[in-house]
Amino acid sequence: MVSVTRSNLLQIRVLTAAGQMSSVRTAVLGAAVDPTPTGDMAYRATFSREQLEALGDEKINELCKKIAVTSWLGPEKHTIFYPVRGGKEFNLVLLRPDNFSSDSRKEHGDIDEMRQTYADWDET
């Protein structure tokens, strides 16, 4: 698991899986279809290569060299890290069980809650 130690680097946006807007569903299915809650939520963040390299962490630097999707799978959670914009930026998505009301589609994330949720999740 990639740990981010500078809170100003991570501005979290939390979406429930049901929060994905319907324009894609409409295009694929040919009609407006209401989302189906999955019980999962996602913390999403985008980092520049410079922000990640400034952390001085060799494991993070190795991830930034990959031109691939890296995924961590574990108990009740999974995480995805991948390059965008030709490797100049990286997306990090952390998924876990949802704790929002069923009508909630988008919330501002709490970085302390995210850190607590993922503390000791992946020790490698």
The arithmetic mean of pLDDT across residues 89-117, rounded, is 79
Give a yes or no: residue 76 inside a domain.
Answer: yes
Domain count, the chain: 1
Give a yes or no: residue 27 inside a domain.
Answer: yes
Query: Structure tokens of 116?
Result: 């607590």
Give a yes or no: residue 123 inside a domain.
Answer: no
Give a yes or no: residue 2 inside a domain.
Answer: no
pLDDT band (50, 70, 90) for residue 22? low
Higher pLDDT, residue 36 or 53:
53
Instruction: Give the C-alpha distances (Å, rounded to integers) separating 74 from 81, 94, 96.
Output: 15, 11, 10
Give a yes or no: residue 20 inside a domain.
Answer: yes
Lowest mean pLDDT across 4-8, 30-34, 71-75, 118-122:
4-8
Q: What percent of the chain has pLDDT over 70?
A: 71
The whole-number pLDDT of residue 60 equals 93
Give a yes or no: residue 103 inside a domain.
Answer: yes
Alpha-carbon distance of 25 to 17, in angstroms, equals 13
Domain that holds residue 53: 7-118
Alpha-carbon distance of 42 to 12, in angstroms, equals 9
Instruction: Give the C-alpha distances (Å, rounded to integers) separating 94 from 25, 26, 91.
Output: 23, 26, 10
Catalogue the long-range contacts made by 19-25 (C-beta closer than 8 Å, 24 or more residues apart).
19/104, 19/105, 19/106
Q: What percent of the chain has pLDDT over 90?
A: 31
